[in-house]
Structure 1
């Protein structure tokens, strides 16, 4: 059952509208509606706020500002992970970024709340804001650590000496813009007060983080906050933590003793949720004429909010990707008065590999060497910085299989040398790597008297297929048909997990389910073996087989339902779990990653420089595949993200106000169907026994890692124009296009 392309078990509920998302819950009856009023300046202080006209508007129940907001718990930097910290709002008159909440209007209808919000009058003293990244790059500082607790800087050997003595040197800067997660479901919640308790229906990726953060902000016992999140319409990192709409709804619901709904508009998401930081990356590669790297350095400067530090681990994957005796990586932060940086799909790896894999392509062309061969020649035997073995590394196999399937041997050796009518045609490729993470996760599996299994965990399904893969693992572990397994997710009264994020969710929760099923099997065998009424009584259970709802030993067999009914009529349950990777010696003794190789073909209009992606192929190594269909879907989704990063996505800041000027989908471009004609993802067979008992690793974010670089490299191969300031747009390519033949 594990690995099969089982259709999504929650698919029928979703297509028939029975899957209930945060804003769609009506259990609390008729709610009130909140609408957030955002600051119209990027830095300064409120000098006057007048809510009288808004409060007089029909239907309005409350206008909350810093003047009447309840006291809240402060952010506690001693809490290890950002998403479990308090997130206070409306705490004072100071404005830290454009769009920051200055008021919440609550009314009987959404229309009344939104209309009244326009009547809230706010006057400011405008301060001098820092909004221009280029102007602040000289004001950088060194963070103590970067995201995921990784070291800020690393150094191996003597980079300067190794680079200076290299026969071939690449020394280039690559810039990436602000980018957003933008899930299909906007950030939304319904908060229902029940006495002194709160039931929070919220779109979140980590239930435990949401519960802890809300309770810490409201300064109440976490047990008084119940989180309900059975379905989440996308997250991509933006829902790992809760945001202002949830805190404001909770404050208002407690104050009014009525249920309150708040949802962000698409435009508000651009200002209130956080984004991938802008970055300037210097990549230096030194190599011999044989293509073997002697020195590699990756230095990154990115923006951070001065009040909430975020250092994306942009140079981290460079530490494990290629062999070179002399190495250097660093991260620096430039404070800007903009929304805080946050985890966006494949944080660090996506922008970092866009730069490094573009630089590797530049090195290949400088050497006159096939880019695939260049990477193979620099394949390490052990992790070059940690000096530990890889748990299971098949990058070379991905490169070779991808080249074979793609027809890489037809790649134009000379840029701008192949035409198809009006189109210049080019091929590009890149490697992919992403670390695999493990976090503490608990799952309870209960076998009912009727022979059905119930899997319970607060793990969330953000559209990745959690309901389906947990069904498969439980069905496989207990020998049940999938339709006899029921999954319960996304509630804070269920066993605690690390939720969905960082590509750790499926591997963690499935491992925990497997262990719970193994414990249940043991209990069932003990019960049957000791029961004189059972056909299995006294038999050696070492070779027991669980299949089709039965357990067999030798020629004897009994239904699971019969064993449970006789011995545990109320049901039989067991728990399984995983522990934090820092407590697991495998994650200390091995470098555990996923790998891949991307190949892309593009056409570039020889007159207009219009870029069209023609096809993409990714070949990946991720250990055990839990579901062939959802795995392929996740990888293809990541590849499309990579194409968007290379060619389209860019949020632009107004340097006068700190506002994002293109804060809608009309101007913040993401790939649509017409942009992505032919994408395929292939997964190699594998099993990583150091990752977990299932041999499975995360896939969701691997697909984006390196994908954008393959597209960028294809654009160069098509045109001879190397763009290092992403995204690659017509304006950046057109001036360098080769002249038309006369």
Structure 2
């Protein structure tokens, strides 16, 4: 397990939540001391490489492995003909959330069926990485090809309504939006498209697996060690207690490492077959072939309004794809249920099933592409009405959730726009498209709303306070670069009144109390809720120890009457108190422990039941979300169509910020990813074969430093009273609205509307 001991950053006690404290893992990462999944040493380590199917839907009729087996150093070539049996993935069960973790329904190498172009059909294990890859290229596979549907555009007409689940709804309505649209004095009715996107984390997927009898150790870059543990235990029919997944550092994930993909399963299979530790490092192409990405979409956004800008109708429908072998809903219309106070609303999501690699989570799934269409349509309506785009949004800002009238747990979008307009200099914008220039460059300014729901998941936490004043926090949460361990150390330090440097955090290991996955921007809030509860339990225990002594100034005090500070408990009325060392020393105890949650079978069931009950009850009472205002300035070359983002400001309503430095970094990172989505990123799929044609970073373009302007971020810092410490979530909200703000700015600069991402040169010439 990863244990991070905090560096001394202050010599004084006092609140540290909100301060820009350096990440506690910073030194390990910058000096190379941090070990990622492919960097753990094992004696007698072998290496594995995958062989990918080159057809979309088929049955394998033959595999020739002779040439591959003859390569020097090859230990085994595993195919469906010789692979030991595994259990297939389990159906989804919301009382066992780990069933959500199977990236596909395919029982790899236990079937002769091919479900998408790129599905692994063999794995080669060799003494060296080079030998494994050389041999993999020599495996020859023949197929009986079957009819396949791989063209999203051609299959769009076959889409069916998305089914609702306990976690998401496929449709919602208020009134008769179509009739209101037809009767509206002013309206827009628009079609938008977004392409598929693929994951390109700095660290490609990698797995190192070692068996010892029926016990398994896996080093894995994952966003959910508990889900990986449970999935592997099921697939290989071993007790979950005998599977340990270690993931202290993850080199970026953004959703692609939430579920368990072929590389992980087949590395563990290869280790079992060969009886040796095995490592598999996916190539960049291997990630594209075997790890799901964002689905393409077509969207309709239609808005009707009175001449004063009051929205009378809002319609947002979408079509996305799932794979025949898996995939899940993309909440494209999520934000359209909440952002505008239209009198009549209709949202509907539909899906088309294709013989392609199943889609999966990708930063702000649904809202990232949904806000592009909605916020670009609002901008078009503003031009139709002759109203400033910010003013139009404010005229339609709801007091309650528009569809069902639920209260907003927290909402300060008006304040975000007001602050952003002032800081960005929005008043200097002239509204006429093409009216602003800087030399030969056309200049445009655009805005859009950001929106992402707030989540809180189950988290088991233990806290130990030792007599020397040190604190140990243990929870199997994840560190993907966002500073999770630093944030939880800050929370514990303030809760217990100890210096930040006194707190040690253990995380990233399934042997620890089960933590939440790092997804949905919910990890910090989820762990914080349990951590605060555990700290309160611990303080009660310490107070009970103090109360046993007649000499203690804390005798007779309740927890509500004392404060934790200066590494001890003190009366709130006259500040008399004792240090933790004094209290524990007098009681002859070296430490005091507190726990929240249990990893026993019964404890897990109770925990899941509590989570679902709380989720459903709160969902009936409140709408919880982070929001913000994105301000963008672009420069467009009128001759070449080149678009340069020249200035950016994001103002966000994200509740309490735990660490000012890491929060700003997270918000900037989301904006950078949104710029890539707007201007560059697209997975190009051959409509005949379903094969991704640009499965590499040479042809799948992502932003580089030269593409990114100075990015200013500002957060309001207003706590959400329904969330632990008032924090919401920041990992995903900042990508939402980005593409729309750029598209709106491009229109302001050029007068041209681009409704199909990415915004490339050809669409402006």
Maintained 8 Å contact 2:327/2:360: no
Aligned to 2:100: 83
CA positional deviation for 1:662 = 1.0
Higher mean C-alpha deviation, range 696-705 or range 650-659: 650-659
Higher mean C-alpha deviation, range 366-375 or range 8-17: 8-17
Q: Deviations over 1:596-651 (max 9, x none)?
A: 00000000001111000001101011111111111111111111111111111111
Cα RMSD for the two superposed structures: 1.7
CA positional deviation for 1:541 = 6.0
Aligned to 2:150: 131
CA positional deviation for 1:178 = 0.4
The alignment's TM-score, normalised by the length of structure 2, stands at: 0.93
Answering whether residue 488 of structure 2 is matched by residue 470 of structure 1, we say yes
Task: Determine the C-alpha separation between the residues in 1 that align with 2:703 and 2:588.
Answer: 54
Q: Deviations over 1:76-113 (max 9, x none)?
A: 22423553447631121221111110111111111111
Aligned to 1:610: 642
Compared CA separation, residues 161 and 606, structure 1 to 2 (3 A)? same
Q: Deviations over 1:433-483 (max 9, x none)?
A: 111111111111111232211110111111111010011001111111111
The SS at the match of 1:118 is: helix
Structure 1 counterpart of 2:470, from 436, 452, 473:
452
Task: Determine the C-alpha separation between the residues in 2 that align with 1:601 and 1:541.
Answer: 52
The SS at the match of 1:45 is: strand
Higher mean C-alpha deviation, range 484-493 or range 442-451: 442-451
Structure 2 counterpart of 1:716, from 747, 750, 753:
747
Task: Determine the C-alpha separation between the residues in 2 that align with 1:597 and 1:403.
Answer: 9
CA positional deviation for 1:298 = 0.5
Task: Determine the C-alpha separation between the residues in 1 that align with 2:737 and 2:690.
Answer: 30
Answering whether residue 352 of structure 2 is matched by residue 334 of structure 1, we say yes
Structure 1 counterpart of 2:318, from 300, 304, 307:
300
Task: Determine the C-alpha separation between the residues in 2 that align with 1:560 and 1:567.
Answer: 11
Maintained 8 Å contact 1:285/1:297: yes
Task: Determine the C-alpha separation between the residues in 1 that align with 2:193 and 2:100.
Answer: 28
The SS at the match of 1:321 is: coil
Maintained 8 Å contact 2:323/2:357: yes
The alignment's TM-score, normalised by the length of structure 1, stands at: 0.96
Structure 1 counterpart of 2:329, from 298, 311, 320:
311
Structure 1 counterpart of 2:581, from 561, 585, 592:
561
Answering whether residue 115 of structure 2 is matched by residue 96 of structure 1, we say yes
CA positional deviation for 1:32 = 0.8
The SS at the match of 1:92 is: coil
The SS at the match of 1:362 is: helix
The SS at the match of 2:75 is: strand
Answering whether residue 663 of structure 2 is matched by residue 631 of structure 1, we say yes
CA positional deviation for 1:533 = 6.7
Structure 1 counterpart of 2:416, from 398, 408, 414:
398
Aligned to 2:453: 435
Task: Determine the C-alpha separation between the residues in 2 that align with 1:330 and 1:629.
Answer: 39
CA positional deviation for 1:397 = 0.8
Query: How does 1:216-295 map onto structure 2 within 5 Å?
Result: 216-295=234-313
The SS at the match of 1:715 is: helix
Maintained 8 Å contact 1:412/1:426: no
Aligned to 2:57: 43
Structure 2 counterpart of 1:487, from 489, 494, 505:
505
Compared CA separation, residues 393 and 298, structure 1 to 2 (3 A)? same
Aligned to 1:14: 29
Q: Deviations over 1:186-234 (max 9, x none)?
A: 1111111122110111111011111111112112221121111111111
Task: Determine the C-alpha separation between the residues in 2 that align with 1:393 and 1:539.
Answer: 38
Paired residues, what number? 731
Task: Determine the C-alpha separation between the residues in 2 that align with 1:184 and 1:402.
Answer: 32
Aligned to 1:681: 713
Task: Determine the C-alpha separation between the residues in 2 that align with 1:321 and 1:542.
Answer: 39
Answering whether residue 134 of structure 2 is matched by residue 115 of structure 1, we say yes
Query: How does 1:76-225 map onto structure 2 within 5 Å?
Result: 76-80=90-94, 81=97, 83-85=100-102, 88-145=107-164, 149-225=167-243
Structure 1's unaligned 5+ residue stretches are: 735-742
CA positional deviation for 1:685 = 2.1
Structure 1 counterpart of 2:763, from 724, 732, 738:
732
Structure 1 counterpart of 2:619, from 565, 587, 592:
587
CA positional deviation for 1:582 = 4.2
Task: Determine the C-alpha separation between the residues in 1 that align with 2:259 and 2:54.
Answer: 25
Higher mean C-alpha deviation, range 132-141 or range 556-565: 556-565
The SS at the match of 1:29 is: coil
Higher mean C-alpha deviation, range 475-484 or range 288-297: 475-484
Answering whether residue 534 of structure 2 is matched by residue 516 of structure 1, we say yes
Maintained 8 Å contact 2:101/2:260: no
